[in-house]
Structure 1
């Protein structure tokens, strides 16, 4: 059970770090409404855009905040066995 918590926190931390790195390289992202979009809107670039497409532009501090939060969560996951007074399983 303890290894499960460690794996969960490690996966969440790594995912947040990946989101932070990805947002460093984009200027904006288009978000589609799930209920009104079809598969054609996602696959075919020549298809007209979905009727409810929203554009999101991450702020300048957002990627750095995600990297910091993800790193803290990963470090927390690494130290979990020490918190339970149990050696790390290899």
Structure 2
């Protein structure tokens, strides 16, 4: 069996208003491209800890990426079987 390697890049940026946005992009050897996004917002009453916003936005982006990848899989299965498919998480 040949090992396959997929790469996920997570890009994070913050604005001056306490919003953190992350984008997770999956790249595969067969040129599949899937992405997900996540956002975090600093509550004005909280102390600003940038790492927490980064982690929250990144986790949401990765979760969205996983959901979008599952949607791609369902579409691929339907294209092969010509039948509707439902994949649970």
The question of a shared fold, defined as TM-score above 0.5 by the shorter chain, is answered with no
Task: Give the structure, 1 or 2, with the largest relative contact order (CA under 8 Å, sep 6 or more).
Answer: 1
Q: Which has the higher helix share?
A: 1
TM-score, scaled relative to structure 2: 0.30
- Structure with bigger strand share is 2
Structure exhibiting the larger radius of gyration computed from Cα positions? 1
